[in-house]
Chain A
């Protein structure tokens, strides 16, 4: 069979099944069946075997552990301490709680690697508080969802770990590369909040005294050490990404169980179950997506596509934009992790063809996919925030669009100026480049 025939059957079947509302993971597996049954050179066991191979990777263990760490932080009330600190630092600005929402997302992102845990944890605390103070529900939901995408851009990041593991890119390098875009997005979101606050006359919180700030900082200090332990540990070679994720779990357990005494043995099974369940669903999707990706690669579909695109003679910038658009488009429909497997491997030869640095390619992908977390129809962070804010997803879309526009400008900056993301890894750990 030719690459064209194979991709038409597989992609066609996948799209039809997804539109019919078959779960993405099952649709990916089902789309492989016709080819596996028709092609004589392949045995149907390939599907199971490829799934097994994708799971049998130590690096992916970091996914459930980082989810668990984030859920433990939420259960242990650490998120509340971060909120108190952010309120003391930026609560007095116009649209105070909006800024608190953004700042706390940035702090939380440095501790957790999951945007969904960020949206769920921070949203459950701040969405009711913001609505009570008179913020529009749509803005409240939009700012919570948009700021939570930093969870996967600021290290540690589950998406980066999957990317690094799949495409053999240094995870330490990816983590360092994510810091600058993450901080830039924070400032962008705070700027957007300021404009919203002026136009819609949102309330201004009371300014905290220096003493109050110091007290809030003291309460959150132990949690704030986490990013240094995790990122520092990986970057300087003390432990692997998977080990770092377990350290994050143990540290949250010590903080919540022994120091703050806010999490008991009774709450633990629920947190363990919820983390494992969510990780199981996400990773099951990785398995079928891997088999799907493997089958496409077997019939040299990625190469055919890369050849086709190479025929356009696009330069590095045009290629970067093309890659971003592809990830933004796929991110609207499927989860980031299967998107990396399906699309990342296809676009890799294209990026290599124009001499794009692997970290640059990765950051364009990660930032684009992070935006996919708030774009309908399948934006998990938007879905979580909308359900917490008890508003329909469509009602928040206008504000989401207004906030996303300046965030897209950051993506364009990342495409245009690779040095923006490469200088930090080059400075701190040149061996990653």
Chain B
């Protein structure tokens, strides 16, 4: 199971890298067409860039859940024992899982509204973009389930298995 999750995590990293590279293309086309006229003025460039951008945000948020790199604020003293750390992390991960489940549930409702819409410029079915929201919810649920299991093992006294570190 861990291997599958790790592979999925790596896959998301590759997709994120490719999307970032791809996003440069439409905006460049837009500038070149306006200032040189060597290519026609496509009307879909801005929209495609925006859609890549939304996927980048959602995939970035998925990766950061597993890496433990979402911004947090360190106000309390560090936990004195591994068990206490396990309890603290468990509370955090359960809270995050609550939003993840909410996102999954209502993201599906949101995505369904996308199914009956097409974008104004490029004619893309909006489901392709809206679906990033419930997918983010689902991916968080998977990554958080893995983390919650690790927290539980820590609380029960087992050594923490190899895996991405939570943020310092």
- Do A26 and B59 have beta carbons less than 8 Å apart? no
Binds A, one of B1-9, B36-44, B64-72, B153-161: B64-72
- Chain B residues within an 8 Å CB radius of A57: 50
- Do B99 and A29 have beta carbons less than 8 Å apart? yes
Query: Which of chain B's residues 36-80 have a Cβ closer than 8 Å to chain A?
Result: 46, 49-50, 53-54, 56-61, 63-64, 69-76
- Do B71 and A285 have beta carbons less than 8 Å apart? yes
- Do B60 and A48 have beta carbons less than 8 Å apart? no
Cα–Cα distance between A28 and B69 once the two chains are bound (Å): 16
Which of A48, A65, A250, A279: most chain B Cβ within 10 A? A48
B149 at the A interface (CB under 8 A)? no
Cα–Cα distance between A278 and B73 once the two chains are bound (Å): 17
Chain B binding surface, main DSSP class: helix
- Do B16 and A280 have beta carbons less than 8 Å apart? yes
- Do A275 and B20 have beta carbons less than 8 Å apart? yes
Q: Using an 8 Å CB-CB cutoff, how does the interface string of B101-115 with A read, 1 for contact, 0 for none?
A: 011011101100000
Cα–Cα distance between A64 and B69 once the two chains are bound (Å): 17
Cα–Cα distance between A23 and B144 once the two chains are bound (Å): 13
A18 at the B interface (CB under 8 A)? yes
Cα–Cα distance between A64 and B16 once the two chains are bound (Å): 12
- Chain B residues within an 8 Å CB radius of A280: 16, 56-61, 63-64
- Do B50 and A246 have beta carbons less than 8 Å apart? no
Interface size on A, residues (CB 8 A): 60
Cα–Cα distance between A279 and B60 once the two chains are bound (Å): 8
Query: Which of chain A's residues 276-297 have a Cβ closer than 8 Å to chain B?
Result: 276-285, 287
Query: Which of chain B's residues 1-43 have a Cβ closer than 8 Å to chain A?
Result: 13, 16-17, 19-21, 23-24, 27-28, 30-31, 35
- Do B24 and A281 have beta carbons less than 8 Å apart? no
B143 at the A interface (CB under 8 A)? no
- Do A24 and B72 have beta carbons less than 8 Å apart? yes
Cα–Cα distance between A33 and B96 once the two chains are bound (Å): 12
A45 at the B interface (CB under 8 A)? yes
Cα–Cα distance between A68 and B109 once the two chains are bound (Å): 34
Query: Which of chain A's residues 52-73 have a Cβ closer than 8 Å to chain B?
Result: 52, 55-58, 60-61, 64-65, 68
- Chain A residues within an 8 Å CB radius of B84: none
Cα–Cα distance between A17 and B70 once the two chains are bound (Å): 14
A242 at the B interface (CB under 8 A)? yes
B145 at the A interface (CB under 8 A)? no
- Cβ-neighbour of B69 out of A44, A61, A281 (below 8 A): A281
Give B146 Cβ to nearest chain A Cβ, in Å: 17
Q: Which residue of B lies closest to A60 (CB)?
A: B53
- Do B20 and A273 have beta carbons less than 8 Å apart? yes
B95 at the A interface (CB under 8 A)? yes
- Do A61 and B54 have beta carbons less than 8 Å apart? no
A-B contact list, 27 entries, CB within 8 Å: A19-B73, A20-B95, A21-B88, A24-B70, A24-B73, A26-B96, A48-B103, A48-B106, A57-B50, A58-B50, A64-B53, A65-B24, A239-B31, A242-B27, A272-B20, A275-B20, A277-B64, A277-B69, A279-B56, A280-B58, A280-B60, A280-B64, A281-B60, A281-B69, A281-B71, A283-B60, A284-B70
B interface residue numbers (CB < 8 A to A)? 13, 16-17, 19-21, 23-24, 27-28, 30-31, 35, 46, 49-50, 53-54, 56-61, 63-64, 69-76, 88, 91-92, 95-96, 98-99, 102-103, 105-107, 109-110, 130, 133
